[in-house]
Amino acid sequence: MTGNIRLFIALELSMKQKEEIALLQEKLKLFNSAVRWVQMKNLHLTLKFLGEIDEALIDEIKSIMNDLVKGIEPFDFSFKDLGFFPSYSSARVIWLGIHKGLENLRELGIALDKELAKIGIAREKRAFQPHLTLGRPRKSLNNEILLNMETLAKGFVTEQSRASGISLFRSELTRKGAVYYLVHESECKMY
């Protein structure tokens, strides 16, 4: 008998990128403590959030991931520019945008969405916008705080990471936040 597990597919960041981003988060924390910041160990770039998925589909998901990356050349990506979802006036997510590798990331995210739909995983309703989640405000942040955060992060650009594969993670929600477990890695075959 199988059950449902919470899954997502992501690109992992280099340790250097994680350290740079964690330093930025430390500076941003000075503006407001009402933000639940993503821990350094959990920083990743989500390509496709699968949600609660029947465990019986895991082998098919792995196969799709393996097939998809066969023809992809590794590429570099980096982050810049602080932003807020869904909007500046009602920020529920604080994020970094993509500096390098945007088109590669878009193509990868769209291809994953399309291929996973073939096994019954719901397609995204919105266009894929690659980003890195830094934190989630616990309560509404005023415009002055957001402006100060934006100003502090102006000109921030991370080192590049090499995307040489994609990873499937299981996400377990706990009182202390989400815990991620690596389920599978698919490496690009074109080197």
Catalytic residues: 44, 131
Cβ(6)–Cβ(52) below 8 Å: yes
Strand 165-174 versus strand 4-12 pairing type: antiparallel
Name the residue with tokens 């949600």: 51
Cα–Cα distance measured from residue 8 to residue 156, given in angstroms and rounded to the nearest whole number: 27
Hey, what are 87's tokens? 């909007």
In the beta sheet, which residues pair with residue 157? 80
147 contacts: CB under 8 Å, gap ≥ 6? none
